[in-house]
Structure 1
Amino acid sequence: MEPQRTPPPPSRGGGGGGNYNTIRAAIMAVVMIVFTGYLFLWVMLPTNPYRLKWQPKLRTQTASTYFGTTHGATYLVFTFPVLLIAVLGCAYVHLGKKSSDDDHTEGKNGNNNHRLAIWKRPMIIKGLGIVSRIEIAFFLMFIALLIWSFATYLHNSFATITPKSAAKKGEKVWEVKLDSASHRLAFIGNIAFAFLFFPVTRGSSVLPLFGLTSEGSVKYHIWLGHIIMTLFTAHGIGYVVYWASVHELSEMLDWPKTGVSNVAGEISLVAGLIMWATTFPRIRRKMFEVFFYTHHMYIPFVVFFIFHVGINYASMMLPGFFLFVIDRYLRFLQSRSNVRLLSARVLPCQAVELNFSKTKGLSYTPTSTIFLNIPIISKMQWHPFTISSSSNLQSDNLSVIIKGEGKWSNKLHQLLSSSPSSIDRIDVSIEGPYGPTSTDFLRHELLVMVSGGSGVTPFISIIRELIYTSEVLKCKTPEIILVSSFKNSNDLTMLDLILPLCGAPSEFPNLDLKIEAYVTREKGAPHEEEQEKTKTRTVWLKPNPSDAPISPILGQNNYLWLGAIISSSFIIYLLFIGILTRYYIFPIDRNTNKKYSSTSRALLHMLFLCIGIFIAATSAFLMNKSKNAKEKNIQIQNMEGPTPQASPNSLFHNADRELESLPQQSISQSVNLHYGERPDLKKFLFERKESSVGVLVCGPKKMRHEVANICSSGLAANLHFESISFSW
């Protein structure tokens, strides 16, 4: 749920929030109707009624000199519904943020949602990881759709293949069937391709409609990617075998002026195989840079796919990629400027907390993520990190915690932990924040957070938000038990970061927080001499005047602007392509002796699509940039005072205020330390008798699976599991 900045009014009757929720319910009803119809089209696509009756009639009624005889029908039934859902999603999310019906007692109805809770219980499936029963159900339905489509295509095509018809072509029956089956494999791959880019559109307006985030949906992108490449590879191999059997391998070099281009398809497949080879976990985790750079092969993969099948057929897969390109270009615009990095807390456990300035208008929910680029370390690499701050508790600051577990993060730690004179400021670019539009932690009576190592990071953001809820809003919050496992006592300093440098109350009596900290590789507390080495240092930096506070890319009404960009950019594209077709391509196609090149047509469509996005997104960005410039300048001036919370003139300001190595005084009272042992997670979870226990876990794969197994055992119906993993 979206937290309030001011205490909620005592009465929550049918005010503005109720009206907003009514409108949102109506929007959701329309979305579900349109989405159901869209899925129904994919189910009917391989059938004879669609191919022989519906499609010809639809093409006849939508044929025009502006979009051709087939393009209008494709836009109407496959492109327009998805873009409509995306625009409605923008309105839905915006109204959700505007709603004042922010009931902090919501969710105390665990018994009423018992059936749904069962469907949300986790399952561990090899190859898929931790998934809920809902996810498995939809995954199986999607696989059923693929099987149904392939079987229907084969049934209809094989029915026309006979020894007599094969003999007319001078081929054997099995060769004709191989040709047909290989062709249909591509059709099935295209179904998965239509959904491929939705999960990785970070600023998506579609995912929130279904309660999803881009970070949590990456696994769907991975599943779809494996399915697509399996089917497309089988499609390519099938055709190579077919051409070899009929002695027509020269077809591999065919790129006709009109129709299907085999060469373009082969280039697209090779680009896809290069990406696919680096996506498997062992390669991706050990050679992340190789994975990162080769994944940019998605550009030739998509471009040559469009050249291969033609723009009309590719328009069936267009909406997901269109929304992704809009999101990608907005991220590009946001990342062009440097942000104000004010300070860093350097921990002896190879971790740092970076503290940025942000505008008051930027709000985000706990567990949100942000992508960082630090050119002094790598100009090309972008890395995602969990935001550890609360946008309510720290209205002027945003912080992230980075644990040194790779080359990039280790270089950052070395840079900040070096001698004071070696670093004055650091250029940083960001993309984001991205995260859930709302959270429902308050619906539980108890939150049990299980973390391993740096997995404590997302829980820090939740704790800070609950501090704000309990101490500022004076609302009842759930009891919190944080179970953290660390390898060494140095890692205990991660708990120092639970409280921010500024903005938090000195005490929080209304928050019931208990921390069970385990140091697994040491038998006892370190000596005093060793504790002196575990000091947490605060490094104060001096940003350039041109460095800006982090702000929403499209302002506070960013989803309304996104809806405007989606609709206007597609309208601009339609206008350009309509004029081109009517006055240039159509006259050429009317000449029976000359046809306009399919490749040129596809290239022009892609060009005008990009032009439409460029015009709409750039205009929206510049309008919001000028609008927010005054607010940013005022905030920068306020941050340049001599206070420790600002940007002081020395690198180490008020050094005597350096934090202790063990948790701060207010936090240390809540900490119970255990050395030389691991937590008994079954005991922590099964002994809780509260009616609703939210169980969150973030850490190593083994830990996540252990907690998931406990919650899925069915021995405790009050456990509600949520895995937070950033190591997909």
Structure 2
Amino acid sequence: EREREREKREREKKKTLINGGKKPEKGDDQVSVIRTMIKALFMVIFAGILMIWIMSPTNTYRKIWLPKIRAKVNQSTYFGTQGTTLLIFMFPMLSIAVLGSLYLHLGKKGNANPLARKQCLGGWKKPMLVKGPLGIVSGIELSFFFMFMALLIWSLSTYLKNSFATLTPKKAAQIGEHLWEIKLEKAALMIGVVGNICLAFLFFPVARGSSVLGVFGLTSEGSIKYHIWLGHILMTLFTAHGLCYILYWAFTNQISQMIKWAKHDISNLAGEISLLAGLLLWATTFPRIRRKFFELFFYTHYLYILFFLFFIFHVGISYSLISLPAFYLFIVDRFLRLLQSRRLVRLISARLLPCQTLELNFSKSPGLSYNPTSVVFLNVPAISKLQWHPFTVTSNSNLEADKLSVVIKSEGIWSTKLYQMLSSSSPIDRLEVSIEGPYGPTSSHFLMHDMLVMVSGGSGITPFISIIRELIFTSQTLGKKTPRLLLICSFKNSLDLTMLDLILPGTGTPYELSNLQLEVQAYVTREKQPTSDNSKLLRTLWFKPHPTDAPISAILGPNSWLWLGLIISSSFVIFLILIGIIGRYYIYPIDHNTNTVFPYTAKAFLYVLVMCVSIAATASAAVLWNKKRNAMEAKQIGNVEGPTPTTSPGSWYNADRELESLPHQSLAEAISVHYGKRPDLKRILFDCEGSSVGVLACGPKKMRHEVATICSSGLADNLSFESISFSW
């Protein structure tokens, strides 16, 4: 009893510490109970969806459950034969997206920390695989990967077993084909059916403002690898599906089937167009091609529109509704991003560093909030009107209420052109920029650790700048206890050390660093001593924004989960109403639910058109409604103009300024520079003290693998690894 009481006091003490010395209020407890109930309902529906996927290949589902559901639902004069898939697949998936939005909305109102469970999952979060085709994979990721592969194997084997069970040489003789030819045709069909399982999940990781990912504590940036895994498996199955059918038609002298576009059956030609678009897209996704020809990869990825549209034409709308929910949520997210990116944002200034790096500072709406390690996608029409590139947000929405900053290092063609444009001898007065985002984690969990070790290489330091600024705010303004911070950063030459200037905000009130236990160990690997006085090479450019340039405002979703849930639910209701009207008064009088009169392609096109119209109408209305609020906030932010300084606002190299010297002196005292060597990561990490040490790694692939290997070695139980990577 005494031990349990002691543990209870320890838990209460830790909760109080996390909440800044305040005990949770009664309202917070009520919110927590409601969130628990919502999450329980979320998980029940999600488990039901998984059960349907598991049972789908069985005779129990296909011969008992499905006929009974169809007998009741498919007789509807409003939805026809599409009613079953709408009920079984589309409605539950959109329901959990709405529930997830409500769950995350209540999480922002209360003090609940959805990532507090990270500690109890600490063992599962450790890397299990470091090197290999899957990259760095934790125990829980590996478990879900094997379970998903087991689902695919189970589905394919069960489909084939049930299909082959009724095939006999006698039946083959009646059809006039060999038994193996019939089995080949059945196998081709079932491989395509199993590939549809991958397609049903393919678009979830790429919806940047996804509430489904947020409930599980995932971000779109961190989930891209799941999209890659699913994409490779999907295209392997669909390619095998297409090749098997081509072989079957060739062996049975039915090669003319390749150009068949049936009115009331599977359209083979549409499937081949879909597969061809997918193959062209797939060919550019392999790492060597993607890195060397990024623009080719970027532009061919838009073939996903043809791929999915002709897939719907291929199988018909009734079957494609199985995989449509994830695509539906992706279209909602994509249209909201389009609306946000239509306006040019207000660029205030740029800090130019001698290491071919720049910091862009934008004006933002005070109501826009985001968590550390968030990213934004930038488009500069002067360089490319189509290309959008992701960059880490280094500013802190609490510390810098009306400014958003990103850091860009010249490492590719696009970023090099941008740096040259701003560093030219005749600097420009205004730069047109559009932004999508910010997108990031729904909460931060850094206070859960006793110590944070951040290992970076080159521009990999940028997400750690946002974490340090967040902890500056936490220690100075909120007075909370923060973990000890150790930043280990490696650079190629001494010019890159100027990136450490970006740790502190460029302008504004001096910040007190004495409460922050910060230690920076910087390593210059290719030089044995400093080569120049880097502080004299820093400069800041100030821009004159156009009156039409707007501050960055919140996108509905990541900053307004309730609005996202409203858009998803209302658009789906409108979709059902419009489809019901079209079905009852246009399709049913022609077809009478026989599926033999009204063309499959026309019906599929109507469904896709109505879906897009419903999403566009509701999302546009929501954005226009919120635009008034953003316009009122924008009036409070005037055009920021000022003289162009010749140096940066402050540098840890020179701490001789009166107002800004204190924070930069504190930073200079925290920094130790080592020339001509690399950090001994194994020694440093094993020497870290504390019951929980968070280890974050961002930078080159080799470095992240080295850190992951150390943390997964089992020689130190207190290390909790997390990789931050944007090298898609």
Is residue 566 from structure 1 mapped to residue 568 from structure 2 by the alignment?
yes
Distance 1:593 1:283 in 2: 45
Aligned partner of 1:384 in structure 2 is 390
Match for residue 513 of structure 1 among 508, 518, 536: 518
Offset, 1:66: 3.6
Residue deviations 1:630-680 (CA, integer Å, cap 9, x gap):
111112x2xx3xxxxx422x4x14758564767943311111010000000
Residue deviations 1:481-522 (CA, integer Å, cap 9, x gap):
100000010000010100011245343110010000000000
Distance 1:215 1:607 in 2: 30
Offset, 1:381: 0.4
Aligned partner of 2:163 in structure 1 is 157
Is residue 78 from structure 1 mapped to residue 80 from structure 2 by the alignment?
no
Aligned partner of 1:684 in structure 2 is 684
Scaled by the length of structure 1, the TM-score of the pair is: 0.94
Aligned partner of 1:36 in structure 2 is 47
Aligned partner of 2:419 in structure 1 is 413
Aligned partner of 1:3 in structure 2 is none
Q: Which residue identity is paired with 2:499?
A: M
Residue deviations 1:416-443 (CA, integer Å, cap 9, x gap):
1112x43001010000000000011111
Distance 2:19 2:213 in 1: 29
Task: Report how many residues are paired.
Answer: 702
**Matched-pair contact (CA < 8 Å) for 1:393–1:504:** no
Aligned partner of 2:482 in structure 1 is 477
**Matched-pair contact (CA < 8 Å) for 2:506–2:649:** no
Is residue 617 from structure 1 mapped to residue 619 from structure 2 by the alignment?
yes
Match for residue 537 of structure 2 among 517, 529, 535: 535
Aligned partner of 2:179 in structure 1 is 173
Aligned partner of 1:703 in structure 2 is 703
Instruction: State the secondary structure of the residue aligned to 1:669.
Output: helix
**Matched-pair contact (CA < 8 Å) for 1:124–1:131:** yes
Offset, 1:102: 6.8
Identity %: 59
Aligned partner of 1:596 in structure 2 is 598
Offset, 1:65: 3.8
Instruction: State the secondary structure of the residue aligned to 1:721.
Output: strand
Instruction: State the secondary structure of the residue aligned to 2:490.
Output: strand
Aligned partner of 2:641 in structure 1 is 647
Instruction: State the secondary structure of the residue aligned to 2:537.
Output: coil
Aligned partner of 1:643 in structure 2 is none
**Matched-pair contact (CA < 8 Å) for 1:340–1:357:** yes
Distance 2:467 2:593 in 1: 66
Distance 2:282 2:334 in 1: 21
Aligned partner of 1:117 in structure 2 is 122
Spell out the pairing of 1:185-196 with structure 2 (5 A cutoff).
185-196=191-202
Distance 1:544 1:674 in 2: 45
Distance 1:656 1:183 in 2: 64
**Matched-pair contact (CA < 8 Å) for 1:65–1:586:** no
Is residue 575 from structure 1 mapped to residue 569 from structure 2 by the alignment?
no
Distance 1:197 1:543 in 2: 37
Residue deviations 1:38-94 (CA, integer Å, cap 9, x gap):
000000001001000100100111124444442111111111111000000110111
Instruction: State the secondary structure of the residue aligned to 1:422.
Output: coil
Instruction: State the secondary structure of the residue aligned to 1:206.
Output: helix
Change (3 A) 1:9 1:241: closer
Distance 2:688 2:501 in 1: 27
Change (3 A) 1:450 1:55: same
Instruction: State the secondary structure of the residue aligned to 1:70.
Output: helix
Instruction: State the secondary structure of the residue aligned to 2:715.
Output: coil
Offset, 1:396: 0.8
Change (3 A) 1:553 1:593: closer
Is residue 449 from structure 1 mapped to residue 428 from structure 2 by the alignment?
no
Scaled by the length of structure 2, the TM-score of the pair is: 0.94
Match for residue 236 of structure 2 among 214, 226, 230: 230
Change (3 A) 1:661 1:245: farther
Spell out the pairing of 1:259-338 with structure 2 (5 A cutoff).
259-338=265-344
Distance 2:536 2:295 in 1: 32
Distance 1:466 1:92 in 2: 26
Distance 1:486 1:514 in 2: 17
Aligned partner of 1:428 in structure 2 is 433
Instruction: State the secondary structure of the residue aligned to 2:515.
Output: coil
Aligned partner of 1:551 in structure 2 is 553
Instruction: State the secondary structure of the residue aligned to 1:476.
Output: coil
Spell out the pairing of 1:87-166 with structure 2 (5 A cutoff).
87-100=98-111, 113=119, 116-122=121-127, 123-166=129-172
**Matched-pair contact (CA < 8 Å) for 1:565–1:620:** yes
**Matched-pair contact (CA < 8 Å) for 1:360–1:396:** yes
Distance 2:548 2:79 in 1: 50
Stretches of structure 2 that go unaligned for 5 or more consecutive residues are: 1-17, 656-663
Aligned partner of 2:402 in structure 1 is 396
Aligned partner of 1:494 in structure 2 is 499
Change (3 A) 1:555 1:576: closer
**Matched-pair contact (CA < 8 Å) for 1:310–1:599:** yes
Instruction: State the secondary structure of the residue aligned to 2:635.
Output: helix
Stretches of structure 1 that go unaligned for 5 or more consecutive residues are: 1-6, 641-645
Is residue 53 from structure 1 mapped to residue 47 from structure 2 by the alignment?
no
CA RMSD of aligned residues (A): 1.9
Distance 2:195 2:558 in 1: 39
Distance 1:537 1:593 in 2: 69
Distance 2:113 2:306 in 1: 46
Distance 2:710 2:20 in 1: 40
Distance 1:426 1:51 in 2: 60
Aligned partner of 1:465 in structure 2 is 470
Q: Which residue identity is paired with 1:44?
A: M
Match for residue 20 of structure 1 among 2, 6, 31: 31
Offset, 1:101: 5.1
**Matched-pair contact (CA < 8 Å) for 1:175–1:242:** yes
Offset, 1:553: 2.2
Offset, 1:13: 3.6
Change (3 A) 1:557 1:397: closer
Instruction: State the secondary structure of the residue aligned to 1:296.
Output: helix
Aligned partner of 2:345 in structure 1 is 339
Offset, 1:594: 6.3
Distance 2:550 2:719 in 1: 43
Offset, 1:628: 1.9
Q: Which residue identity is paired with 1:687?
A: D
Q: Which residue identity is paired with 2:629?
A: K
Aligned partner of 1:243 in structure 2 is 249
Distance 2:181 2:510 in 1: 76
Residue deviations 1:526-555 (CA, integer Å, cap 9, x gap):
2xxx22586211111111111111110239
**557-566 or 447-456: which moved more?**
557-566
Change (3 A) 1:673 1:533: closer
Offset, 1:699: 0.5
**Matched-pair contact (CA < 8 Å) for 1:681–1:707:** yes
Q: Which residue identity is paired with 2:726?
A: F
Q: Which residue identity is paired with 1:610?
A: C
**63-72 or 712-721: which moved more?**
63-72
Offset, 1:690: 1.2
Aligned partner of 2:14 in structure 1 is none
Q: Which residue identity is paired with 2:690?
A: E
Q: Which residue identity is paired with 2:30?
A: N
